[in-house]
Amino acid sequence: MVTLSQQAETVASKRYYLKDESGEPEETVRGLFQRVAEAIALSEIQYGKSNADTDLTQKEFYDMLSNLDFVPNSPTLMNAGTEQGTLSACFVLPLEDSMEDIMKTAHDIAMVQKFGGGTGFALSKLRPRGDHIKTTHGIACGPIQVLQTLSRVSSMITQGGKRDGANMAVMSIDHPDILEFINCKKVEGDIHNFNISVGVSSNFMKAVESDSEYPLINPHTNKIVGYLNAREVFSKIIYGAWRNGEPGIIFLDNINKDNHVKSQYGEMIATNPCGEQPLLANESCNLGSINLANFVDVKQIKPYIKWEDLKTTIKLATRFLDNVIDANYYATSDIEKMTKSTRKIGLGVMGFADMLTQLRVPYDSKEGRIIGNDVMKFIRTHADETSKELAEERGVFPAWHESDYSEDAKYRNACRLTVAPTGTISMFADTSSGIEPLFSLAYRKMNILEGETLFYVNKYFEQDAKELNFYSEDLMEHLSNGGLLKDRGEIPEDIKELYKTSPEISPESHVGMQAAFQEYCDSGISKTINFANDATIEDVHTAYIDAWKSGCKGITVYRAGSRDKEVLVTAHKTENNEQLNFFDEIETPISDEYFFAECCDSPRIAMESGCRTCKSCGWSACYIA
């Protein structure tokens, strides 16, 4: 019997269950998993499997899903078996330097986001603002105005009718308009549906270290048009990240080390909205995450990881994701052609912090990073092995023949692994997000339908608190209002270490964990390096340098309280923030109709889903895909 927590059932009801004409759910969680398992298993038939074998695979998929051992990305849960909507979450679209190409990209944004996908673009090929245009004798508006136009297009779309469009814009560090790009989101709310990142090379980072100049290159003429001091530009990036988390950085050389089809398709210069999936133009990638919290045996004196069970799930999930490529609906023919040429999949993880908790290992310990590295190595080994087995059964990905893979690396999928943020699906699985530490041990959400505030407590912490006799309503109130365990004298020291939350983890430990997983991840990793409000610009600088030197493919930081409207918060006060009694995981509104907040005297009905604004006080919050 499949059972969900109250929070998970709410997520499923609002996001995943099919609805009748009145908008009421018309399927249960069992129906959801049956629908998805059947739709994805049907791909087996086109590879010569019998109906009996396909039925067996369907049952294996169903069992894996219903145990919440593995959960695919939200579009697959929403759309599989409905014959409408994409099953993929991640897309990168080309953006070339002509009016026709820009308008085609705007059209493709609409088509992708109409059915639930998020999009990424590189602005790097667009000629700089003020450049002469021969065909019209006009002057180029520049990449930032194009970005603003694409943002307005995205604002018209609600993804699959269920969430706002989400995007990533990347600009190369050597573009003449790079300084304007770095500052294009300095005013909160500008270009609100885009994340931005700067694409940097190792040569630029070495120029930062040596405090030297680097060239700016006009992408239209390919000529050097000026020079900037690398350290000064890097400082502007750091200041923006410290100011409000924008821009992030993508290390292009690190990304393209795992681009095995460069000779055929060129460099990867952009990523999906959350940055974990570098892709070529018109590629898409379907993601799914293994719930690591389910693979710890706590019945023994010393808890341990159930490696054999994990291996079984890795192999089955890899097959599942390869099947999704064939079961998918593609918004454009170009996306279908490119996706089926490389057949990229993104197998990742969630529940890592909960795994460590059960193993009694603090997140910010050396042992924690070793476990993370070992787990990802294990997943890489068996995902690669399964992809080779699928290649023998079904054939290598078509672009393999022009790739730089060796004869002993005949893969079905050009890349196999991606660690996504898992905002919604981790709530659905009742586990921690991605490889992030715990954000909060206790928080509260106002259930406007029932007229009461509900308290949510981390289930592992609650169990320890009750078994060790320090559970109290006063403690829960303290934690749900942004308080920390370290401030409470009744809490044992080992418990304080074990249950450190994200704001208490040092930037070095955040980056160290990202690097531990990145070593064996052939794509990218979504990981936010969280800082306390009093973090310095130098702290952010150190994190960015450490990320580059440790081999990460990108980095995003966020300093608590640096935005007036935060997506993921517990109640707190800073010099910059008034108290906000709101908590919502990234990408998940708890309801498509109501906004849960105590932003004023009483909660108000939201003006719209997605980007919510209180009609009384104007306080708003947006979530991303």
**Mean pLDDT score, 242-266:** 95
Among candidate residues 276, 283, 504, 566, the one labeled active-site is 276
d(CA 559, CA 503): 9
pLDDT at 153 over 90: no
The mean of the pLDDT values for the chain is 86
Closest residue by Cα to residue 590 from 574, 609, 617: 609
CATH 3.20.70.20 fits domain 6-86+276-428: yes
Among candidate residues 90, 184, 254, 274, the one labeled active-site is 274
Range name among 47-56, 61-70, 312-321, 586-595 with the lowest pLDDT average = 586-595
Among candidate residues 254, 272, 282, 577, the one labeled active-site is 272
184 is a catalytic site residue: no
Range name among 191-195, 223-227, 450-454 with the lowest pLDDT average = 450-454
Domain boundaries 90-271, corresponding CATH code: 3.20.70.20
Region of residue 222 (phi > 0: left; psi between -120 and 50: alpha; otherwise: beta) = left
Query: How far does CA 437 lie from the centroid of its chain?
Result: 15
pLDDT at 227 over 90: yes
Range name among 38-47, 157-166, 405-414, 519-528 with the lowest pLDDT average = 157-166
Rounded to two decimals, the pTM is 0.88
d(CA 506, CA 485): 16
Closest residue by Cα to residue 479 from 463, 496, 457, 505: 457
**Mean pLDDT score, 236-258:** 95
pLDDT of residue 602: 29
pLDDT of residue 165: 67
CB 250 within 8 A of CB 199: yes
Q: What is the DSSP string of 213-249?
A: EEEEEETTTTEEEEEEEHHHHHHHHHHHHHHHS--EE
222 is a catalytic site residue: no
pLDDT of residue 386: 98
In angstroms, how far is the first alpha carbon of the chain from the final one?
30
pLDDT of residue 448: 39
pLDDT at 274 over 70: yes
pLDDT at 450 over 60: no
Range name among 127-141, 241-255, 292-306, 317-331 with the lowest pLDDT average = 127-141
Angle between helix axes 99-114 and 333-342 (nearest 10 degrees) is: 80
Read off the pLDDT of residues 312-357 as tens digits, 9 standing for 90 and up.
999 999 999 999 999 999 999 999 999 999 999 999 999 999 999 9
Read off the pLDDT of residues 350-390 as tens digits, 9 standing for 90 and up.
999 999 999 999 999 999 999 999 999 999 999 999 999 99
Q: Element (H or E) spanning 557, and its range?
A: strand 554-559
Closest residue by Cα to residue 344 from 197, 199, 522, 168: 522
**Mean pLDDT score, 540-567:** 87
Q: Element (H or E) spanning 72, and its range?
A: strand 70-72
- Which residues belong to CATH 3.20.70.20 in the chain? 6-86+276-428, 90-271
Q: Which residues have C-beta within 8 Å of that of residue 321, sequence separation ≥ 6?
A: 72, 286, 287, 288, 345, 346, 347, 413
pLDDT at 10 over 90: no
